[in-house]
């Protein structure tokens, strides 16, 4: 009973174990990649994930200069059922659907203090839509 109470006190006291978990908590994903930061990975004990190697690439011995490399690929299909209230071609005939693809690569170079260089390249492709994008879609 005393051992269980001691474990509970240590876990919830904000001691070394709880402090380590707070210090090593990854940032939440932000809508814009340039708002994310991975400086917490300067502490080697916080690097547990495979992707931590590309999220934090130290460029000097102190770790204050670092590079973050990232990217994403998104593929999805957009189709309409009863588009135009059934008067136009339907998706079941594969004439009213189209695919969308997006690939993004970025690098974030933290040089010193608040100086950094962020670069993001994006490719957006729309396939199978004959009319192209319009405001009415």
pLDDT of amino acid 16: 45
* Nearest CA-CA partner of 80 in 101, 98, 96: 96
d(CA 63, CA 39): 9
CB 82 within 8 A of CB 96: no
- How confident is residue 86, by pLDDT bands cut at 50, 70 and 90? low
Domain spans in the chain, listed from the N-terminal domain onward: 2-127
Residue 36, exposed/middle/buried by CB under 10 A (0-12, 13-18, 19+)? middle
Residue 68, exposed/middle/buried by CB under 10 A (0-12, 13-18, 19+)? buried
Going across the sheet that includes 115-127, the strands are 57-58, 66-78, 98-112, 115-127
Q: How do residues 26-39 score in pLDDT, each as one tens digit?
A: 777 788 888 888 88
Give the range with max mean pLDDT: 10-14, 27-31, 57-61, 92-96: 57-61
Strands (E), the chain: 57-58, 66-78, 98-112, 115-127
């Amino acid at each position: 009973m005393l051992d269980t109470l001691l474990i509970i006190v240590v876990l919830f006291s904000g001691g070394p174990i709880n402090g380590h978990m707070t210090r090593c908590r990854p940032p939440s994903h932000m809508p814009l990649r340039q708002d994310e930061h991975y400086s917490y990975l300067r502490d080697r004990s916080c690097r547990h994930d495979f992707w931590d190697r590309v999220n934090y690439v130290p460029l000097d011995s102190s770790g204050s200069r670092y590079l973050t490399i990232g990217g994403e690929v998104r593929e999805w299909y957009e189709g309409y059922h009863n588009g135009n209230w059934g008067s136009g071609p339907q998706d079941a005939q594969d004439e009213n659907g189209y695919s969308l693809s997006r690939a993004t690569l970025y690098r974030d170079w933290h040089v010193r203090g608040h100086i950094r260089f962020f670069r993001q390249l994006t490719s957006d492709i729309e396939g199978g839509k004959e009319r192209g994008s319009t405001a009415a879609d």
